Structure 1
Amino acid sequence: MFLLLRLRRPVSAMPWRMGWRGMRLACIAAALLVLGLVWWLAWQSVKAERAQQQISTAQQQASLAAVVAENLAQVVNKGQLMALAAGDALAGHARGQQADIHRRLSTMLVAEHSFARYVLLDAALQPVDSSYALSASESAPLMASLRMSLQVPEQGHARLLPAARSAASGHPDLWQIPLVYALRPLESEASPRAGAAGGYLLLMLDLGYFLNLYRDVEMGAGSAIHLLDAQGGALAELGPQGLTMPFSREPVAPVARMTGNRGAIVAALQPGGPVSHFSWRRSASSPFLVVASRGLEWVHGPQREDSRKVWTLLGVLSFCMLLAVGGMLRVLRHQEGLFTALSVANRDKHMLIDQLEQEKAKALELAANDHLTGLHNRRMFNELVASHLALARRSRKFYALMYLDLDRFKAINDTLGHHVGDLLLQAVAQRLRQLLRSSDIIARMGGDEFAVLVTGMDAMTDMDALAAKLVDCLSQPYEGLEGHSLQVSPSIGVAFFPRDGHDVTLLCRNADAAMYASKRAGRGRFTYYDATAGADSARSYALERQLPRAVADQQLVLHFQPKVRLHDCRIMGFEALVRWQHPEYGLIYPGEFIASAETTGAIRALGDWVLQACCRQVAAWRALGLEPVPIAFNVSPVQLRDSAFAERLAAHIAQHGIEAADLSMEITESCLLEPRELALSVLEQVRAMGVSIGLDDFGTGFSSLSQIKDLPIDTLKLDRSFVNDIRSSSEAGVIVTSVITLAHNLKMRVVAEGVELMDQLVYLKTAGCDEAQGYFLSRPVGAKAAQELLRAAYLYPA
C-alpha cells in the first residue's frame, strides 16, 4: 500500500534510465578499484614478508657465525695459554731447571678436548716433546710446512700451516688442523733478544670434535657452517648432511668480498652455483674465518609457496567477483526494465487506490459493527467499555455490565430455521435500542448473546428497575417474523464496576457467570454476580482442568474401607475409594471431581489408574506373605462403553501376577443404560475371567430385582438411604428385608453400605444381610492401616 501511494506521483522514465546506466558504470568501476586495491595490498604484503624473511635469515646466520667464531677464538686462546706454559717450561729447562714439560702439557691437552695432539719444538725446530711419536714420513712435510709458515708475518696468537691437509697426510684422522704457537718465556722482555722465539708449540686442532658441538643446533634447511683459513681456503663444513672436508684449500669465491671482521653478503659459493646468504665473523686472535650460509632457495621456498597460494586465491576471488559483478549488472538491467514498466503502469493505479481506500472504510465499519443487527461487535464493545471504565474511575457515578441470553433460542433455529432466528435477533436489538439510553453501549457478542454497559447511574439500586424492565419487555411476543409470533425470555447477569471487576475481561466473565446462574434458577430473570458462587465455580473449573495432569503426576491415592461379614465379623474384602492429594487444596474427595471427569472424558484415564493401583496393592500384600481379600473398584458407564476394557483388565492382572478373584468390580444402574448390549458383553467377559461383579447403590435407580435377575451380578449393595431410614421408618425396614430375601433366592450376596449405628448393624444381621461397611465399623483408611486390618483378619465393632 505504501509503495502504491508513493507511486501516485508521476515518474519520468528517461532520468531513471540515465541513472541506471550510471549505476552500472559505478558498479564496474567499484569492482575494478576493489580488485586493484586487493592485488596491490597482496603484493605489498608478499614483498614485506619476503624482506622480513631475509632480515630474519640474516640475523639468524649472523648470530650463528658469531657464536662459532667466539667459541673458536676461545679454543685458540686456550692454545695460547698452553704455548705460554710450554715456553716458560722450555726456558727453565734450557737454564738447567727441572721441569716436567710432558706432564704439564698432557694435563692441559686432556682439559681441552678440541686439541688432539701436540708437538713441542725448540728454536731450531727440533722436537723436544710430543704427545705422540712423529714418524719420518710425517715429520718431513710437517717441518717443511712449518718453515713455510714462519716466513709469513705473524697474525694473531697462532699460525695455521698453509698445507694442513698434507701436513696431516698419513695420519688416520684427517680432521686435525695444525696450529703453531711461537714460544716466548715470560721473562723474555728482559733478555737481550727480547721478542725472539724460544721454540714452537704445534697443536692439532680437531675440527671434527669442534664442529660436532653444533650438530644439534637448529640451523634451518639449506644452512651450513664453513670454517676457512685467513686466505679463504676451505677447511671444513658442517651442513644438513653432516661434517665434510674439501679436497682442496682453494679460496672460496665470495671470500674476496668478505672484508672486515664481520658482515653479510649474498653470492654464490662457487661460480655458477646456487646463490646463498653469507654471514662471516673474524677474530683478531684467531687465524680462522667463520662463515654461516643459507641457500636463498631455502629462505624463500616456503614464502614462494605461500605466495603462489595467495595469488591463486586472489585469482579465484577475482574471477568470482567478476562473475558477481556480471550477475549484478544483469539484475540491474532487469530491475531497470521492471521500474520502467512500473512507472508506465503507475497512471493506471490511481483509481485502484481510491477504490481500496473506500473498501478500507467499509471494512473498518464492518469490523466495528455486527453485520446482522447493526450493534457493536465484541471487539468494538471491549474497546468502548475500556475507555468508559477509564473515565468511570474518576467519576462518582455507577456503572454496570449486563449479559443477556435468549432462552431456548436454539430450538427456534432448529424448528423454524436460521432466517427466522436472524429476524428475532434483529427485533431484540431494536427493542434494546428503544429501552436503553444513547449513552449506554449495546453489543451483540455472538449467537443469541448480547452485552450492555449501563453508564452514569446515581445508585446501584437503579439497576433493579432497569433489569426488571428489560426482562419484561424482551419477554413480550415478537410479531410478524415471517408469519410467526414468537415469545422468548431473556436470562440476564449483572456485574457492577468496580465491585465485581476493574477491567473489561473480569466484568464480562462475572456477568456471564451471573447470567448462567439466572438460567440455572429457572430462566426469564436477572441475577447479580455473587463472588462466593464464583469462587466455587472457579475451584470446580480449576479441578476440571488439572485432573488429567493429576493422574499423570500420580497425585491420586487410594483409601480402603473394609467389608465385614456379619455372622463372625471377618473382613471379606475392601472397597477402593480414590482421593486426590491436591498440592493447593489438600485432600479432595471424589464427589468434587468424578462428575467432571465423566463429562470431560478424563474418567477413562482415572479409572485405568485406579485399576492398576488395586492390582499393585494386591501384589504388594502377597509379597508380604498376607492372604489378600478381594478389592472392589468402581467402574463408570463411560468405561463400560469401551469394548477393550476387559482386555486391559486381563493385561493388568497378568502384569502384576495376581489372581482374577483378588478383584471385584462394582457398577451402578446407570451403566446398564444404552448401549445396553455392549455393557452386557463387557460384563460377561469380565465375569468369565473370574472377577466378581457387584451392583452399587441398588434401590436408587430404575432397576428392580426382576430386571436384573438375568444380569451377570454376584452382589447387591443396598444404598445408604435405606440403611439410614431403618430406625425411623418401618416401611424402609420391610423393603430392606424383602430385598435381602429376594437377592438370596437369586443366589446373590447382599452388602449394606453406610452403617453408622449399632441399631442398624443389629437389624441388618437379624434380617440376614451378608456383609456391611460403614463408619461404625471403619472409616476408609490408607494402605498401611488396611494392611494391619488384613493382618488381623477380623474387625469387631467398638
Structure 2
Amino acid sequence: MPLSALPPSPTASFSALKRWCIGWANSWQPVHLALVAIVVLVLAVSWWLTGKHLRAQLAQAEQAARLQQSGLAAIVSENLSQVLEKAQLMSVVALQGMHHDGGPWQAQLAHMLERDRVFLRMAVLDKQLQLLAGDPQQAALLHSLLPYQQGSCAAGRGAFVLHQQAQSQDQAWQVPLLLCMADAQGVSLGYLLLYMDMGYFLGLYQDVDLGGSGSLHLLSPDGSVIAAMAGGGLLAQHPAQRMASFSKVPEGPGEMELPGPQGSTRLANFHRARYMPLTVVVSRDWNEIRAAYAQNAQRTWAVLGAITALALVGSLLLWRTMQRRQHLFNALEKADQDKQQLIALLESEKQRALELAASDHLTGLHNRRMFHELVSSHLALARRSRKHYALLYLDLDRFKHINDTLGHHVGDALLQAVAQRLRTMLRSSDIIARMGGDEFAVLITAMEDPSDVETLAQKLLTGLGAPYEGLAPETLHTSPSIGIAFFPRDGHDVEVLCRHADAAMYASKKAGRNRYTYYDGIPKLDSDRYYQLARQLPSAITQEQLVLHFQPKVRLEDCRIVGLEALVRWQHPQYGLIYPGDFIALAEEHGHIEALGDWVMQACCRQIAAWRMQGVETVPIAFNVSPLQLKDSAFPSRMATYLKHYGVRASDIQVEITESCLVEPVGLAARVLHQLQQMGVSIGLDDFGTGFSSLSQIRALPINTIKLDKSFVNELRSSKEAGVLVTSIITLAHNLKMQVVAEGVELMDQLVYLKTAGCDVAQGYFLSRPVPLAQTEALLKQGILEPA
C-alpha cells in the first residue's frame, strides 16, 4: 500500500482542526466587532425602553391613586347627599305640619329621627325662633349661633352647618345641620335643626384602605374641618382647624395638591354635591403613592445594570478569546458553564415561583389547586398499585365562634398550629392541604391495610383535639370532624373523592362532631329516596314538576337590577321542594343532564315572553350549561328554535359555563360557543378562579362576562392578598373588554370594596336570595335593589 493511501494520524488531525479553528476566528473578527456594536446598541435601547416603561408605570400608579381617591370621595359625597335628602324630607313634613296647625307631624318626625341612626336630635322652630317640636336645649343653641353664621337663613331656603364649641369628646362628632323652611316665594317660615352623628357616618368607611398617610375630611363651605378619618380611625378635630384651600370650592369633583409634613406634598381629591354644605376631601401623601414605584424602579435599574455589566463583560471575554487562539476550547467550555449556571438559576427561580403559587399563604401547606394536581398524579399511580389510598376531609368544630369572639389573628394562629400538628402526625409521603377557611384535606398514600386509616383517624382526633396554649389569653379548645373516602371504592377521580369525603365530614358534624365517618357508612339521600329520585327524574322533566327561582344581579354603579340568574328546583309531590344539589348529580350520573338543560333553556325563554306579554320590563336571564351540552353540535340550533318559537331576542339570554368546559380538548366546545356568540347570545364564565383557566387562556374565546367565585369574596375581609387578586382580575378583565360579576356577596364591606375596586355587577344574599316567580316580578317592577 502506498504511503499516500494511509489514514492521517490523530495528531495530524488535531493540528488540522486547530488550524481550521484559528483561521475561522481570524475571519470572524470583523463580524465580532459588528456584534459588539449591536450589543451596545441593544443595551442602549433597553435602557431607553426601561426608562420609558418605568415612567409609564409611575403615571399608571398616580392615575390609579387619583381614580381610587376620586371614587371614594364621590361615594362619600353621594351618601352625604342621601343624608341631606332625608333631612329635607323631614323639613317638608315639619313645614306641612306648621301649615295645617296640628296632626301627627311631630310624632312622624320623631319616628323618622328614631329610624335614621345618622341623626341624633332635632328641633323645629318658627321664624321667631319659638320651639315647635324637639329638644329645647337645641332651640337655645340656635338662638345663640344663628346670628353668627355666614350665609344665614335670612335669604330663605338652604342647608348650613353650624359651628359650635364641643363640650366633650362625644359631642365633637355631633354636627348641627340647619335647614331653612320657606314657602314657594322664598319667605322663611321656620327652621329645622338636626344633629348628625359624624362618628357613625364615618364609621361606615373604617374598613376602606386609605394607606398609611391617607385621610378623609369633611369640610364646611369656609374650609373648617367638621370630621376626619385616617388609617381607619376617627380623628378628634379642633373647632378652629381650617383647610383654607377648600373654602368656596365649586360643586362637583376636583383635585389639588396640598403641602405635607417635612416639605412633602399630598394628592387631594375633593367632591361636593349640589346643595350639599359639606365638601368631601380624600388625600394621601405623594411619597407613599410613589413608594411602590420607587422600589420597583430601583430593583429594575439594578437588574438592568447587572445585565448590562454581564453583557459587556461577556463581550470583552469573547473578544479576548478570539484574540487568544490557543485558548479557544477553554473559552468555549467556560461559555458552556456560564450557560448552564444561567439555566440553573432560571430553573431555581421557576421552581420558587411554582412553590409560591402552590402554597397556602397562611399555613404553608398546599392550596386547593396544587392538592388536586398532586392527588390526580398519585391516583394515576395507585391504579397500578396494590396499596390502599384514602382521602380525608377535616373541618374544625366551632372555629367560627373562636374567630368571631377572639379575633381573626387568633383564628389565623390556630390554623397555623393545626397545620403544624398535621405535619408532625402524618408521613412525609402523605399530601396535606388547606382547602379554605378551617377546612383541611389529606391524602393517605400506599397503606398496607385499609384498617390503618382508622388508627390514623383516631390519632388525628386525639392530636388535633388537644388544648392549644399560648395562642390567646386563655387556652383554646377545638376538635376535628373527619370524613373518609377510599380509592377506588368511593370514587375513581379526585373530584368525586373530594365530594364524597366532604359529604362524610358533614355527616360527622351532623352526628355530633369530634368523630370520623366513612363515606360508605352514610346513606345516599336514604337509599330508597335516592333510587326513587333517580327513577322519577325523567318524568319530572316531562311532567313540568321543575320550577325556576331567580337571583337578581345588581349593577354597583346605581343599584339597578341588570340581570337574573335562573336556578332550577324540583317541586316533588312527595318530598316537597328539592334543591339542585340533590338531583343534578343524579342527572349527570344517569344521562339526563342534557334533557334537564334543554328544559331550563326553554323555561327561561317562555318566562321572558310571558313577562313581556304582562308589560313587565325584562332583563337578561342567565342559566348554566353543562360540558355535555357544549359537546352537542346541535345545541345552538335548538336554542335558535326556542328563541324563534317564543319571540325572544338572543340578547335576553346569557349562557354560563364553568371552567371545566375549557379543559382540553376544547375544539367542539369553542365552535359551539362561537356559534352562540354569532347568534347574539352573551356568554359568561361561572366560578372563575376555582379551576385551571386564566384570563390569558380564555381571551381567545367568546367570553363576555366572568363571575368571581364566592371564595374570593369571602376572603376579602381576612386576606389582603385576596383583595389585591380581586382588583387585579377586575383590571385585567376590563382590559380584555369583559364585564365582572361578583357572586356570594354577603356583607356590606365586601360590597363597598368591590365597588371601589371597579367591579361592575354583584349578586348574593346581602342583596337578595334566589326568589320564586312572584317575588321576581315584584323586583323587576321595582327596578332598583338597595342593599339591606
Fold agreement, TM-score > 0.5: no
TM-score by length of 2: 0.35
State which structure, 1 or 2, has the greater radius of gyration over its C-alpha atoms: 1
TM-score after normalising by structure 1: 0.35
